[in-house]
Amino acid sequence: MTLPRQFLLKGKKWRVSLRKVVDRDDDACNGLCAYDERKILIRKGMSEAETLSTFLHELVHATLHEAHLAPNSGVSVETEEIICDAVADMMTNCFHMKWRRRRG
């Protein structure tokens, strides 16, 4: 799978980087949305399914950020994570269905 290296979101350029990813506590994680730098970081070496799911999850974070809905807008971190997981799962399933249809 090839992720886009960059994309536009509401006219703003975001970059995507595959690498080792750590959170604020320096713990390894699968993905991170660096709002200030407009960067999505994805852990290198995951399966295609994990990479896609993580990228879509972080893409929802970026979308919420550009819509001024997160972070720090009254939506709790827990709610934001639920939204990101739900949309990423839905989109992942759509991509998988399309992939299966092409092969079947």
The residues that touch Zn ion, with contacts defined as CB under 5 A, are 81, 84
Q: How far is the CB of 34 from Zn ion (least distance, A)?
A: 12
Nearer to Zn ion, 66 or 81 (CB): 81
Q: How far is the CB of 96 from Zn ion (least distance, A)?
A: 21
Q: How far is the CB of 67 from Zn ion (least distance, A)?
A: 16
Nearer to Zn ion, 15 or 81 (CB): 81
| SS3 labels along the chain | CCCCCEEEECCEEEEEEEECCECCCCCECCEEEECCCCEEEEECCCCHHHHHHHHHHHHHHHHHHHCCCCCCCCCCHHHHHHHHHHHHHHHHHHHHHHHHHHHC
Nearer to Zn ion, 69 or 97 (CB): 69
